[in-house]
Amino acid sequence: MNRIARALYRTAASTRQNLGLSVQSVRSMATETVNGIPVEVVNPEGAKRVIVTKNLPGDRWKQILASAGCRVEISQSPETILDNATIVKFIGNSCDGVIGQLTEDWGSELFEALKKAGGRAFSNYAVGYNNVVVPEATARGIPVGNTPGVLTETTAELAAALTFAAARRVVEGDSFMRAEKYKGWLPTLFVGNLLQGKTVGIIGAGRIGTAYARMMVEGHKMNLVYYDPFENKFLEEYVKDYSKLVQSKGGDEITVTRCGTVEEVLKVSDVVSLHCNLDENTKHLINEEKLNMMKSNAVLVNAARGPVIDEVALVAHLKKNPEFRVGLDVFEDEPLMKPGLKECENAVIVPHIASATQWTRSGMATLAASNVAAILQDYPVWNKPDVLGFVDGPFESIPKAAPSIVNAKELNLKMS
């Protein structure tokens, strides 16, 4: 389904009229300063005020909110991350809904400000919501939305890219060339690790972990070990069936093993990719002790959440073990890095871009807007895992529901 959806997105420009989307209808109709904050305004005459703390890609999300009768104010602040004081000022005395960012601290202060302003809906522009204190929203009767279902392959692809960039020393080679140090081919120049047929370990075998595992198993015939509190029968059966196909063509058996502990995964894997949630149990899951359990030439990849790794311990480990490599999309004190990390040539570091494809980022905006618009129109909550009907297809066929509300049960919201 996701491959089909991506194909639909690529053809969207030529079929915009058929989808019921008018570029003119979603373009900003005004630029104003609201509560001291520069904003782009969509549908200025809308009766419901929705603020968006960052500009988001795509047009469909704007049309969704405008069609719901919302005046949409999109922050144009030059600040990369808005602090709480600025967001409170932006909310002001009257605000019906907010689309916020994972870089913001949505706890008692912001939800109290939103409640006092008459707010009824909030959506995080992310699938994760560790930046949101959901009970604080629930206590004030505010539904909290998120954006699952459109990040799976996109994030898994970035994790795979980090894996090979680290294993094959791509960034080191790129810097070497740009510095004009290359004088000719050498047998020992930037020798890295071959991953074909080796062992890949997954910590967290949810949707993204499963997609990454399939990429590594299918593309590179890697044996799979994984740790997850829950057995992933689909993934295990998939690998076993794929192994039978490979063996029928003369290839070697590909194995899959669910490990009882994280430690078991770390000890046997040539690559370890983290795909777990961040909570009190997973903060610094990968610490000095765990790093020392890994193979000296292993590759560690994190496209989940930065604090899952003790970054100070990681820097020390990278310095002591030059053959050990890491690929990071997220950081413990994001946007900052711990001292010494940027000097480690055996680290590939990118600025939290795992979801950064046009289809995914636009889809996230659409889902966030759909959450807010649906709540403000008293629509029920979507009760199905497939959310592509919100993201693709004719505009008039978008389900009349909120795609994902994480506290729907606690608030006794009606389900579709």
Active site residues: 305, 334, 352
Beta strands in 138-268 (DSSP E): 144-145, 199-203, 223-227, 256-258
Sheet holding 325-328, edge to edge: 256-258, 223-227, 199-203, 271-274, 299-302, 325-328, 347-349
Nearest CA among 386, 389, 381 for reference residue 410: 381
**φ and ψ at 100, to 5 degrees?**
-110, 180
Here the tokens at position 366 are 């659409």
Distance from C-alpha of 45 to C-alpha of 209, rounded to nearest angstrom: 44
Nearest CA among 121, 77, 75 for reference residue 95: 121
Nearest CA among 191, 119, 203, 193 for reference residue 159: 203
Q: How far is CA 308 from CA 128, 273, 286, 301, in A?
A: 14, 12, 6, 11
Cα dihedral value 4, 202, 102, 358, nearest 10: -30
Number of H helices, E strands in the chain: 15, 14
Beta strands in 133-193 (DSSP E): 144-145
Nearest CA among 300, 304, 334, 303 for reference residue 314: 300
Q: How far is CA 287 from CA 255, 282, 345, in A?
A: 28, 11, 20
Q: Could you give the angle at the alpha carbon of 155 between the alpha carbons of 153 and 156, nearest 5°?
A: 60
Burial class (CB in 10 A: 0-12, 13-18, 19+), 321: middle
Pairing of β 30-34 and β 325-328: unpaired
Q: How far is CA 176 from CA 63, 118, 198, 318, 323, in A?
A: 47, 57, 28, 20, 18
Amino acid code (one letter) for 150? V
